[in-house]
């Protein structure tokens, strides 16, 4: 009848189709928009970069396939950073859906950088019981994980001759899709004062800015954007190492184009909807109530 009414009562499926188009287009032909690192992500990167080679970093990758696009690039970038710098990561997960995904990331990065399982990195795998596991890690890694993901007894893994408990780690990276950040803070990080960097899904990021401000966590990488920024920082500092290891361009950086366009689309659609709403309201109250 008139365009304002049509817009205000737009079928959801039309919006869905436009979103699908806007996401698909830049994935097919990338725009290569520049990525700039925010201070929160740079802080995580610098914290890790300041560690000498041979330091130990604990990475708790607490996510599963649902948040793979947002968080797996972060795990990849952090692992590349560790390996390029000669830092020895220990990787674990508290999510049952995680191990298969994380194993892929770890083995890929290790292969690219020719790292040896047990001496250059450890993948501990999944352990149920969130807070209990965190408390256990503070008490001692070997008491919590008797075996690593590949069923090797942790007592025989060389890395655990150097690190025995949570406090022995020089840095802690938490990659969280759910509510594991606060328990880690309360049970492990606060008592031991190991610096902690957090990567989380964009939906939950708002919650953690308070912790950055309170200096309880070093920095925060939120969602795919945060991962893209970390990828950008690692590539900026270690481009030679990454190139010689044959690491392809980061997945998150590729996704940023799509995210840019979708955001722009949503902002535009909000503006259009509001325009229509105002015009419709001007036309008279009796119509609005109808």
Partner 1 sequence: MSFITGDAAKQRLIPLLLLGALLLLPLAGHGQEAAPPEQGEPAAAGDASAPGTAAEAPPPLELEPLSSPPAAASVSSAAVEDVPNDNGQALGVSFDWAEPAAEGVTVSVELKPDSAILEEFKLSDAEQARLDSAREKLKSDLGSLIADRDAKALEVAAADEARTAAKNVITQTKDYAGLAELERAYWKAKSEMDSLQDRIDGVQNRFAARGGRKLLEKQRKYEYLSAALAAEWLPTDIAGVPAAEVDSRGAHAPLYGREPDNAEQPWLMVSQILAPLPEALAAQAEELHSSYGEDLAPGIPFPLKNGQQYQVRLAFSGPEGSSPALVDAGPGTPRQSFFKSTLASHFIIATLYALIILSAIMLARRNPNLFIRRIAGLEAVDEAIGRATEMGKPVLYLNGMDALSELSTLSAINILGRVSRRIADFDSDLLVPCRDPVVFSVAQEVVKQGYAEQGRPDAFRASNIYFVTDDQFSYTASVCAIMIRERPAANFFMGYYYAESLLLAETGASTGAIQIAGTDSPNQLPFFITTCDYTLIGEELYAASAYLSREPLLLGSLKGQDVGKALMMLLILLQTILFVAQFATGNAAGEPWDWLVKMVEPL
Partner 2 sequence: MQFLRRQLPVIIAFVVGLSMWVLFYVPTQKSLELQDGFTLWVRIIVGFAAVLGVLSVVNHHYNKIKAKRPGYAFSFITLGAFLLMALSGFIKAPLPGFAAGNNKPDSLHFWLYNNMMLPMQATMFSILAFFIASAAFRAFRARSMEATVLLVAACVTMLGRVPLGELMKLGDPIFLGGPAPIDFPWWSSWLLNVPNSAAQRGILLGVYLSQIAVAIRIIFGIERTYMGGGD
Q: Is 186 in the site for partner 2 (CB under 8 A)?
A: no
Q: Is 119 in the site for partner 2 (CB under 8 A)?
A: no
Q: Is 262 in the site for partner 1 (CB under 8 A)?
A: no
Interior CA angle at 33 toward 75 and 201, to 5°? 35
Residue 176: name the closest of 205, 216, 148 by CA.
205
Which residue lies nearer to partner 2 by CB, 33 or 146? 33
Q: Which of 34, 52, 248, 285 binds partner 2 (CB under 8 A)?
A: 34
- Is 272 in contact with 36 (CB distance < 8 Å)? no
Whole-angstrom distance between the N-terminal and C-terminal Cα of the chain? 15
Which residue lies nearer to partner 1 by CB, 12 or 282? 12
Hunting for tokens 């990454």 — which residue is that?
A: 242
Q: Is 151 in the site for partner 1 (CB under 8 A)?
A: yes
Q: Which ranges constitute the DSSP H helices of the chain? A: 3-8, 12-28, 39-49, 68-85, 99-112, 130-139, 141-144, 159-162, 181-184, 190-192, 209-213, 223-237, 239-244, 251-282, 285-289
Candidate ranges 18-26, 73-81, 154-162, 244-252; the one touching partner 2 (CB under 8 A)? 18-26
Cβ of residue 227: shortest distance to partner 2, in angstroms?
13
Q: Which of 30, 97, 118, 140 binds partner 2 (CB under 8 A)?
A: 97
Which residue lies nearer to partner 2 by CB, 67 or 105? 67
Q: Which does 245 bind (CB under 5 to 8 A by kind): partner 2, partner 1, none?
A: none
Q: Diameter of the chain by CA atoms?
A: 79
Cβ of residue 208: shortest distance to partner 1, in angstroms?
9
Hunting for tokens 């309880």 — which residue is that?
A: 216
Q: How far apart are CA 152 and CA 238, in angstroms?
A: 32
Residue 265, CA distances (Å) to 53, 217, 258, 288 in order: 45, 33, 11, 27
Cβ of residue 27: shortest distance to partner 2, in angstroms?
12
Candidate ranges 37-45, 116-124, 197-205, 236-244; the one touching partner 1 (CB under 8 A)? 197-205
The residues binding partner 2 (CB under 8 A) are: 10, 12, 15-16, 18-20, 23, 33-36, 38, 64-69, 97, 100-101, 128-129, 131-132, 202-203, 205-207, 209-210, 212-213, 222-223, 225, 256-257, 259-267, 269-271, 273-274, 277-278
């Amino acid at each position: 009848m008139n365009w304002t009414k049509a817009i205000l009562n737009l079928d959801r499926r039309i919006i869905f189709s436009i979103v699908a188009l806007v996401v698909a287009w830049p994935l097919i032909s990338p725009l290569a928009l520049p990525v700039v690192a925010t201070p929160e992500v740079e802080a995580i990167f610098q914290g890790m970069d300041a560690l000498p080679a041979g330091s130990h970093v604990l990475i708790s990758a607490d996510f599963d396939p649902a948040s793979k696009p947002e968080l797996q690039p972060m795990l990849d970038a952090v692992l590349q950073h560790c390996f390029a710098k000669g830092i020895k990561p220990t990787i674990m997960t508290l999510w049952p859906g995680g191990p298969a995904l994380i194993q892929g990331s770890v083995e890929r990065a290790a292969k690219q950088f020719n790292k040896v399982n047990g001496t250059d990195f450890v993948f501990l795998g999944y352990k149920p019981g969130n807070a209990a596991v965190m408390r256990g890690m503070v008490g001692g890694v070997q008491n919590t994980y008797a075996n690593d993901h590949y069923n090797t007894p942790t007592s025989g893994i060389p890395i655990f001759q150097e690190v025995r408990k949570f406090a022995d780690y020089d840095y802690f990276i938490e990659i969280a899709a759910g509510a594991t950040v606060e328990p880690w803070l309360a049970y492990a990080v606060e008592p031991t004062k190991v610096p902690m960097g957090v990567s989380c899904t964009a939906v939950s990021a708002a919650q953690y800015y308070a912790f950055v401000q309170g200096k309880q966590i070093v920095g925060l990488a939120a969602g795919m954007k945060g991962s893209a920024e970390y990828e950008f920082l690692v590539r900026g500092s270690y481009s030679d190492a990454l190139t010689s290891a044959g690491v392809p361009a980061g997945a998150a950086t590729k996704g940023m184009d799509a995210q840019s366009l979708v955001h722009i689309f949503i902002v535009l659609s909000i503006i259009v909807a509001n325009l229509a709403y105002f015009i419709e309201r001007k036309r008279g109250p009796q119509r609005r109530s109808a």
